[in-house]
Chains A and B, each alone.
Chain A
Amino acid sequence: MALLEVKNFGKQFTIHHLGKTMQAVENIHFSLDKGEFIGIVGKSGSGKSTILKSIYRTYLPDTGNIVYDSNRFGKIDLAKVTEREMLYLRKHEIGYVSQFLNVMPRTTSRQLIEKALLEMEEPATIAKTEAEKALKHFELDRKLWDAYPNTFSGGEKLRLNIAIATVKKPRLLLLDEPTASLDQQSKVKVREIIEKLKADGTTLVGIFHDIEFMDGLCDKVYDMKSSPVPLQEEGVLCEG
């Protein structure tokens, strides 16, 4: 059964000071079963991030439906849920990872992960042990546990970012170019992490620049060839 179904989705941006409207994407259709991993490829500006951000409601979707099968609410259209419902889903069911670590300043890595767990109303003692487990799991150097992440390297930030998003065991994880600006070694590490997540049954939607990275990792790949591209049918490049 589909965990996420995007139907006839479109998004345009109105830029008032230019008096212009830009169609970022239109006619997007795809669906995603539980435990599946879909990769979206396409050159920059083709609207990959727009799709992901609209699922997470950082962008307001304008046309179409984004039907998500929630644990709490059942089938629900993410394009139309209330703000409070979306906040609930973000806390409990849907995770988002970008290449940028956008977190509360002056908060240590450990606190950031604990906070994610406390939001889910886990008891403080469990949050503490789980946070340490996550920090170990994502191979973050022990001396970084009680440091502020603004001084971390790109790879460290990203691993922390993924740790924060995955410690809650989200049912759906959105990966927005997590590997951009990483060196080859860090990319390999991230790939290992994603493989682990997939093995654990997490459903994933990911955007990546390099097709090699996705090779063998994704169950389906959507290619957004030219910008903006209407995806009339599911364009499967590789079966994983």
Chain B
Amino acid sequence: MHEQPILCVRNLNKQFGGGCQDCRETSTRKLERNYCSTCGTVYACQDISLELFPGEILGIVGESGSGKSTMMQCLYFDEPVTSGDAYIHDVELEGQNVFNLSSQKKRYIRNHKYGMVYQNPVKGLKMNFSTMGNIAEKQIAAGNRNVTTMERTGSELLENVHIPLFRAKEEPRNFSGGMQQRVQIAKALSNNPPILFLDEVTTGLDLSVQANVLDLIKRIQRESGISMIVVSHDLAVIRMLADRTIVMLNGAIIEQGLTDQIMEDPQHAYTQRLVYSLL
């Protein structure tokens, strides 16, 4: 089966710090977890390669500090990468390493190809703008200028994520955590992106609210066929959402496979520990 991935990442590396002679060479470096004990350089992402296929949800699990969020921030251009390539399968961007593009081009990709939902809504929303204004902001960035259509799509999106329309003029800071998260999802979807990144979207939400958000994500995937990368430290979330799963530890991918295979036949010692700790 020859299938073209919609997003293909090759050897993504991200380090914080300049490195020293003890750790610069990949093959010989000895790290304490993910940092060099001599110079303190943190190797947050080491040679991450992955492929995201059209319409699929790819799960990424790993403990805190394993580099999941850093990887997402690199993919979304919040953080520059140290090295690595990423290719988006798209007529305009075919064959171009998107990490090397100009900041203008990157902004274009963020506005037209990507959606991002952060763990912390403060990062994804302007808390002192109205809810509708937040959604409009992303639509304007994507080139929309017609207020009527923007308002119509905005209302549809909010209805879709179960935010009552009479609160659309309210600022998200008045909302509960679950509502803020749902506004973020509506905002991320407002430019109709083919690729959506979800970073620990249900962390810190209570169970029933978490269920709402998860149902929403599943529904979006079913109805619009958006490809998603879902990062979570919660295996139950990944089990429910993802077909394929990548396990990260200390900045590197240690295992990947079908989600049920990762859960029932984990190969790596860390993955086994992770799965056995599942309640």
A contact residues vs B (CB 8 Å cutoff): 13-17, 53, 57-60, 72-73, 82-88, 104-106, 115, 118
Task: Assess A84 versus B53: contact at CB under 8 Å? Given A104-B240, A106-B215.
Answer: yes
- Which 8 A/B pairs are nearest by Cβ-Cβ distance? A16-B269, A59-B265, A58-B260, A85-B1, A58-B264, A83-B244, A16-B272, A83-B258
Q: Are B53 and A17 in contact (CB under 8 A)?
A: no
Q: How far is the CA of A53 from the CA of B244 in the complex (A)?
A: 17
Q: Are B211 and A106 in contact (CB under 8 A)?
A: yes
B276's nearest neighbour on chain A, judged by CB, is: A17
Q: Are B265 and A60 in contact (CB under 8 A)?
A: yes
> Which residues of B are found within 8 Å of A17, using beta-carbon distances?
269, 272-273, 276
Q: Are B261 and A57 in contact (CB under 8 A)?
A: yes
The residues in B between 1 and 21 inclusive whose CB is less than 8 angstroms from any CB of A are: 1, 3
- Per-position contact with A for B199-233: 1 when CB-CB < 8 Å, else 0? 00000000000010001001000100000000000
Q: Are B265 and A58 in contact (CB under 8 A)?
A: yes
Q: Are B264 and A118 in contact (CB under 8 A)?
A: no
The residues in B between 260 and 279 inclusive whose CB is less than 8 angstroms from any CB of A are: 260-261, 264-265, 267-269, 272-273, 276
> Which residues of A are found within 8 Å of B218, using beta-carbon distances?
104
Q: How far is the CA of A217 from the CA of B178 in the complex (A)?
A: 52
Q: How far is the CB of A22 from chain B (nearest CB, A)?
A: 12
Q: Are B243 and A87 in contact (CB under 8 A)?
A: yes
> Which residues of B are found within 8 Å of A86, using beta-carbon distances?
258
Tell me the dominant secondary structure on chain A's binding face: mixed
Q: How far is the CB of A106 from chain B (nearest CB, A)?
A: 6
> Which residues of B are found within 8 Å of A106, using beta-carbon distances?
211, 215
- Per-position contact with A for B169-187: 1 when CB-CB < 8 Å, else 0? 0000000000000000000
Q: How far is the CB of A118 from chain B (nearest CB, A)?
A: 7
Q: Are B260 and A60 in contact (CB under 8 A)?
A: no
Q: How far is the CA of A53 from the CA of B263 in the complex (A)?
A: 13
Q: Are B269 and A118 in contact (CB under 8 A)?
A: no
> Which residues of A are found within 8 Å of B268, using beta-carbon distances?
16
Q: How far is the CB of B175 from chain A (nearest CB, A)?
A: 23
Task: Assess A13 versus B211: contact at CB under 8 Å? Given A72-B1, A84-B3.
Answer: no
Q: How far is the CB of B177 from chain A (nearest CB, A)?
A: 20
The answer to whether the Cβ of B257 comes within 8 Å of any Cβ in the partner chain is yes
Q: Are A60 and B257 in contact (CB under 8 A)?
A: yes
Q: Are B1 and A83 in contact (CB under 8 A)?
A: no
A-B contacts besides A13-B265, A16-B273, A84-B244, 14 pairs, CB < 8 Å: A14-B267, A15-B272, A16-B272, A58-B258, A58-B260, A58-B261, A59-B264, A72-B1, A83-B256, A83-B258, A84-B53, A85-B1, A87-B244, A115-B222
> Which residues of B are found within 8 Å of A82, using beta-carbon distances?
1
Centre residue among B211, B272, B273 by max chain A CB count within 10 A: B272
> Which residues of B are found within 8 Å of A60, using beta-carbon distances?
257, 261, 265, 267
> Which residues of B are found within 8 Å of A87, using beta-carbon distances?
243-244, 258
A85's nearest neighbour on chain B, judged by CB, is: B1
Contact sample, A vs B, 18 pairs, CB 8 Å cutoff? A14-B267, A15-B272, A17-B273, A57-B261, A58-B258, A58-B265, A59-B261, A59-B265, A60-B257, A60-B261, A73-B1, A83-B244, A83-B258, A87-B243, A87-B244, A105-B211, A105-B240, A115-B222
Q: How far is the CB of A103 from chain B (nearest CB, A)?
A: 10
